[in-house]
């Protein structure tokens, strides 16, 4: 027997949310789940999705920045930066992990590398540490962007291709300026004369609805003269003699921390800034959930400043 339904408007199935699904469904009962944006059917054991809805999102992933080194140290490298598009499947949960920045250090020590930011199948690499003023351990560390090295080394930290740039070299002659950490868009500069190296510049993105610069490198430290400036995009400035304290990288921009200048070994380097993950899509209505959600000009923007889940 064939049932014919006249008309041109089709059939509208029952609708429910995940929380409001039928309590005692019959086998084969189906409806449209507005939480998942999917049509589903009760198999007798579980709700099974019978449609596959995908859509494209744009993302920006920034890792945590590395911290600077101590005592004329090198600036911390910025967290790696990745931006592209990705096709998500409706109803699928995607884990987003936000990388912390590298911790501040004191004494004669290298900085600490930043942590990776991951999600949607990609991994932005944490920024490299800045080298500290101790022979044999004063090279910059590799990472998303590489850390600068102290006055005891000219071996810079290497950046990751497509994510960031190398750090800058230290200078082995008085007043021994350290190199700047690399940034997403530029290398850290080398220490020269009485000026420590500057952090490399970060990259500007408008994915949040306004132009913001992310992933700048940290500045190098020096005995006397001028500490290195932090790169645009949250890089911390380097210290000089006296207290010698380096400036922290900016949270949720992935900036590298500034190095400590020559001074007391209790002078702290700047910590690296934490990372961020932003997802954006154009739609007449919100499709996904997770993070802090805003709408700018028809673009839904999900911003993760801490780890969480994006459900498409």
Quick: pLDDT tens for 121-139.
999 999 999 999 876 667 8
- 44/103 same-domain check: no
What pLDDT score does 13 carry? 78
Q: Does 171 share its domain with 253?
A: yes
**Cβ partners under 8 Å of residue 22, min gap 6:** 16, 29, 31, 42
What's the structural domain count of the chain? 2
- Domain co-membership, 205 together with 271: yes
Does position 4 have pLDDT exceeding 60, yes or no? no
What percentage of residues in the chain have a pLDDT greater than 70? 93
- Identify whether 8 is part of a domain: no
Examine the domain organization and report whether 42 and 185 are in the same domain: no
Determine which helix (DSSP H) or strand (DSSP E) holds 277, and give its type and residue range.
strand 276-282
Q: Is the pTM of this model over 0.95?
A: no
72 shares a domain with 38 = no
Whether residues 35 and 108 share a domain: the answer is no
Q: pLDDT band at residue 208, thresholds of 50, 70 and 90?
A: very high
Write out the residue range of the structural domain in which residue 193 sits: 53-312
Say if residue 20 is in the same domain as residue 117: no
Q: In this structure, is the dihedral angle defined by the CA atoms of residues 134, 137, 143 and 148, taken in order, positive or negative?
A: positive
Question: In degrees rounded to 5, what are phi and psi of residue 155?
Answer: -90, 110
- Mean of all residue pLDDT scores within the chain: 91
State how far the Cα of 183 lies from the Cα of 234, in Å rounded to an integer.
10
Predicted confidence (pLDDT) per residue in 263-301, tens digit: 666 789 999 999 999 999 999 989 999 999 999 999 999
What single-letter DSSP state applies at residue 293?
Answer: E
The pLDDT tens digits for 52-78 are 678 999 999 999 999 999 988 999 999
Looking at the fold, whether 37 and 169 belong to one and the same domain comes out as: no
């Amino acid at each position: 027997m064939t049932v014919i339904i006249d008309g041109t408007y089709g059939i509208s199935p029952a609708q429910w949310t995940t929380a409001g699904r039928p309590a005692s469904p019959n086998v084969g009962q189906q409806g449209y789940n507005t939480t998942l944006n999917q049509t589903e059917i009760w198999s007798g054991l579980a709700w099974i999705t019978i449609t596959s809805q995908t859509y494209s999102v744009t993302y920006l992933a920034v890792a945590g920045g590395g911290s600077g080194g101590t005592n004329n140290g090198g600036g911390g490298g910025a967290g790696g930066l990745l931006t592209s598009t990705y096709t998500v499947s409706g109803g699928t949960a995607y884990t987003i992990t936000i990388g912390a920045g590298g911790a501040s250090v004191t004494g004669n020590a290298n900085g600490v590398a930043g942590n990776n930011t991951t999600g949607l199948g990609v991994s932005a690499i944490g920024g490299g540490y800045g080298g500290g003023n101790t022979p044999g351990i004063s090279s910059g560390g590799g990472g998303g962007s590489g850390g600068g090295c102290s006055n005891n080394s000219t071996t810079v930290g290497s950046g990751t291709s497509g994510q960031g740039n190398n750090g800058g070299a230290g200078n082995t002659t008085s007043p021994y300026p350290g190199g700047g950490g690399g940034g997403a868009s530029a290398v850290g500069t080398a220490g020269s004369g009485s000026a420590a190296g500057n952090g490399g510049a970060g990259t500007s993105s408008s994915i949040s609805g306004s132009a913001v610069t992310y992933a700048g490198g940290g500045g190098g430290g020096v005995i006397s003269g001028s500490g290195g400036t932090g790169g645009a995009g949250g890089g911390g400035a380097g210290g000089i003699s006296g207290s010698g304290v380096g400036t922290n990288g900016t949270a949720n921009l992935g900036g590298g921390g500034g190095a400590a200048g020559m001074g007391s070994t209790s002078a702290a380097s700047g910590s690296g800034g934490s990372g961020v993950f932003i997802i954006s899509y154009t739609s007449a209505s919100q499709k996904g959930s997770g993070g802090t959600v805003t709408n700018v000009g028809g673009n839904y923007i999900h911003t993760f400043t801490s780890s969480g889940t994006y459900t498409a």
